[in-house]
Structure 1
Amino acid sequence: MGEFKRDFKMKVKILFLDIDGVLNSKLYYKYIYKPENGWSRFDPYCVVLIKRLIEEFSLRIVITSTWRNGIVDRLMRELEENDLVYHLHKDWHTPIIRPANRGIEIKLWLDDHPEATEFLIIDDNENLLEYQMNRFVKTNNYAGMAQEHYNQARNILLSEKEYLMLPNLVIEQ
C-alpha cells in the first residue's frame, strides 16, 4: 500500500510587474518628472503602493515589461534607486518570445517555477490568458498605479478562495 508524504517545498508568491503604466505614467512625466534633477523615472507614489503590496504579502517581483529587452542597466538602476531590486525573484524576468504575448510569457515562467504557488499580475495591458484574468489588476498608462489598483490587488491576494494552497500530496508506491 502507498505511503502518503507531504511535499513542503518552499512556496513563493510572485508579482508579475510591468513598468510603463504601472510604476511610471504620462501624468508623472508631463507634470512632475524632471530629468535634470536626477529624479527617478518611476513615480514615487506608484512605487510606494507596489512596495506596500510586496512587504505585506512577501511577494517576489518578476518583470514582464519590455524594459527587460534592452535597457536592463537602466531598469536595474531604477529598481535599485527605488529599493525594489531586493525584491526581485532570482529568475527576475519572463522569457522573451516573438511575437510578444505577455500571457504566454507568464505561463512559460510559471511552468518553469512550480514553487510559485500564488501570483498577481499588474499591467496596463490585458494581453493575458483567460485563467490569468482573475489574478490581474489593470492600471492605466495615464496615471499608473493608483489607490484603487492597490485595493484591488490586495483583495485578490487576500481572497482565501483563490489562494488557499495546501502542500502537494505525494503518494509513494
Structure 2
Amino acid sequence: MHPIIFLDIDGVLHPLKTSNSSALDHHLNQELAKLYHDPEFLKLNIYFTNLVYYGFDQNACTLLKKLVDEFDARIVLTSSWRLIYSKHELYYLFKILHLEQAFIGTTRKSTPRFQVIQEYIDKHHIDSYIIIDDADLQKYFEFHTIKTINRFCDSDYLKARNLLLLQHVKAH
C-alpha cells in the first residue's frame, strides 16, 4: 500500500507571507495547454492558474515531489482549497506541479480537519501516512505530523522523510 500524504496548501506550498505582486499573465493558460498538450488548461480560471504557477513556493513544491517520488506516495488534499475548487481544478493544480499521478482525492468537505483526516484513515485502512500542515495537529496524530512555518522547507522534508522511513521499518 502506498503511503499517504495528507496535504494542506496555504502555509505549505503557498506561503502565507509573500512578496509576489507580479502582474497577471494573460497567456499562461495557453502556454500551459501547449506545454502539456492539454486543451483543458484553456478552460481554467486564469487567476487560479496564475496563483498556482507563480504564487506557490518552488522549493516547497520540489521537496514535495521528491518525497512523493522517493516513497511512491499518494496525496490526499486536506486544505480549505478542497472547499473552493473542484476536483477537476485540483487535478490541474497537481498537473502544474507534475504530481497529478500522485493526487488521489480530498478528505470530506467538512471540519474540523483532524476529524476528516481520521475518518479517511479509518475508511481506507491507512497505516502509513504523514500530515503536512501549518496547523498543529500533533496532539491528534503523534509521529505523523509535520507542522510547517509559512512553507514546506528542507527541515520539514527531512522530518517527513524520517517519519515515512520509520513507518516503513515498523510495518516490516
| TM-score using structure 1 length | 0.75
Unaligned runs of 5+ in 2: 29-49
1:135 Cα offset (Å)? 0.6
Which residue of 2 is the match for residue 149 of structure 1?
Answer: 156
The answer for the alignment partner of 1:134 in structure 2 is 143
Counterparts in 2 of 1:49 and 1:135: CA distance versus 1, 3 Å: same
Structure 1 residues 36 and 137: alpha-carbon distance in aligned structure 2, compared to 1, 3 A threshold: same
Does residue 112 of the first structure (1) align with residue 123 of the second (2)?
Answer: yes
Alpha-carbon RMSD = 2.0
Matching of residue 16 in structure 1 with residue 16 in structure 2? no
CA contact (8 A) 2:94 2:103 kept: no
1:30 aligns with 2:11: no
- State whether residues 19 and 67 of structure 1, in contact with CA within 8 Å, keep that contact through their aligned partners in structure 2: yes
- Distance in 2 (alpha carbons) for counterparts of 1:58 and 1:120: 13
Task: Tell me whether 47-56 or 37-46 shows the greater mean CA deviation.
Answer: 37-46
**1:171 — aligned with what?**
none
Q: Is the 8 A contact 2:91 2:103 kept in 1?
A: no
Cα deviation per residue 1:92-146 (whole Å; 9 max; x = unaligned)? 111122xx211111110011101x22000000001x37351311000012xx111
- Other-structure match for 1:52: 66
**Pick aligned residue for 1:121 from 122, 131, 134:** 131
2:38 corresponds to: none
Q: TM-score, normalised by structure 2?
A: 0.75
Choose 1 or 2 for highest CA Rg: 1
In 1, Cα distance between equivalents of 2:159 and 2:121? 22
Moved over 4 A (4+): none
Change over 3 Å in CA distance of 1:124–1:154 after alignment to 2:
same
> How many residues align structurally?
145
The alignment-based identity, stated in percent, is 31
SS of the aligned residue for 2:129 comes to strand
Match of 2:170 in 1: 164
Structure 1 residues without counterparts, runs of 5 or longer: 1-10, 167-173
Quick one: distance in 1 between partners of 2:23 and 2:116? 32
* Larger proportion of strand: 1
Higher helix proportion (structure 1 or 2): 2
Alignment partner of 1:93 is 2:106: yes
Alpha-carbon distance between aligned partners in 2 of 1:77 and 1:44, rounded to the nearest angstrom? 17
The match for 1:7 is none
